[in-house]
Every structure is written in C-alpha cells, then in structure tokens.
Amino acid sequence: MVQKKASMTSSTKRTSVIWRARHPRQAKNFDNKREAIIQEAARLFIDQGFENTSLTEIGKALSVTKPTLYYYFKSKNDIVLMIKRRAQGELFQLIDSIEKIECTGLEKLRRLFPRYIEIIASDYGKCLVTIADRVLDESSRLEVATEVKKAEDRVKGFIQQGFDDGTIARRPLKIVYYAIFGMLNSIGDWYNPHGVIPPKKLVEHYIGLLMDGLRQN
C-alpha cells in the first residue's frame, strides 16, 4: 500500500513537471500538456472510478483550472477516448509485430501474451478494459467498438492458424478466444503493479496457465 502511494506521487510529479515545462515550439508544448492531462486522468479514473472523477479534480491534480483543461479537451468523454485510443494503438503495434513473424499459431500467441499483459496492466490499458464504453458518446463508442472488433478478428486468426497447424487443441474458436482474453483483460480489474506480485512474475504465471491449457497433447 505504501509502495502504491509513493508511485502515484511520483507520477503526479512527472505530469506536473511536464505541465510547467516550457518548450521552444508551441505545438510540442501543446501535445505534452495534453499528454500530462491524459496521464493524470487515467491515474484518477483507476483510483476513484470514471464516474467519480471530475474535470475539476483532474485540473487540481495538475494545478490548473477547469477552463484551462477545456483548451486541450472539450470534455471528459474526449479524455477517456484519447486514453482508449492510446491503449488500442499499443495493442495494434503488438499485433502488427506478431503478424510479421513466421511461426506456428501457438508460438504467435506465446509471443503476444507478455506484451499484451504489460499493456493491460498499464494505466491506459486498465482504463481500456475497466471503463465501460457506455460512458462515451455514440460516435466515440462506435470508434472504440470498431477497433476492438478489428483487433479481435486479427488475434482470432492466430488461434485459427494454431488449429490448422495442429499446435492448438481444436475447440470452438469463440470459446477459446473469450476464455483467454476474458482472463487477460481481468488483470485490469485487480492487478496492482506495485503490490506483492511483480509484473515479471504475473507474466510468467499467466503464460504458464495459458500455454499448458492451449497446447495440443
């Protein structure tokens, strides 16, 4: 518990420094300040819940006023959408890199899992899986849902490849996918990287469970 508090204090200091920093180029300064806002917002959403975190509280954590926040984001909806975009962007980069590797379907999943777990255990990843899309406006919900479906279809392709090459025990594809990623996404609900289980150990345990369950006997 003490460790978590220390980490949050460190995070707040980093975003405050970014906020106060002066850069020679205004565009870069604007982008850095937007980044500071979403970093601090993600931390607060995780600690307090999305519904219980106001723009005023986000501004207070950064020592800026609510009107100042409106210069960078029109609403809380826009902030959480940006956070979800960041997490989804990291996931797509991961999937892109795995698709380029020539290996079995099972090996692709084995390579996917470590980084996937890291992303979901991050502040942005936790917000992606724990903040319900219903809090977003209609166009934002559609955007997030569309990207989720794209990622899902591509990862299902790895599982299907494993069925076809004989490295993954053949079961209904939908069941295999949701069993795996339902378990992985639940990390966002309970895992504290500053708690008793170090991130490296978390990855090891999950990969052991998943690989033993997937492998063809």
Say if residue 112 is in the same domain as residue 209.
Answer: yes
Rounded to two decimals, the pTM is 0.84
Domain identity same for 124 and 194: yes
Q: Assign residue 130 the CATH number of its domain.
A: 1.10.357.10
CATH of the domain at 67: 1.10.10.60
How many residues make up the chain in this entry?
217
pLDDT at 212: 78
Strand partners, 215: 168
Tell me: do 114 and 47 sit in the same domain. no
Shared domain check, 90 and 56:
no
**Which of the listed residues 55, 73, 91 is the one where a domain comes to its end?**
73
* pLDDT, block means (10 residues), the chain with 217 residues: 43 54 60 94 96 95 94 96 98 98 96 96 96 96 98 98 96 96 95 89 89 70
Is 78 contained in some domain?
no
Q: What are phi and psi of 168, to 5 degrees?
A: -120, 130
Residue type, 72: Y
pLDDT (0 to 100) of residue 217: 59
Q: Is residue 44 a part of any domain in this protein?
A: yes
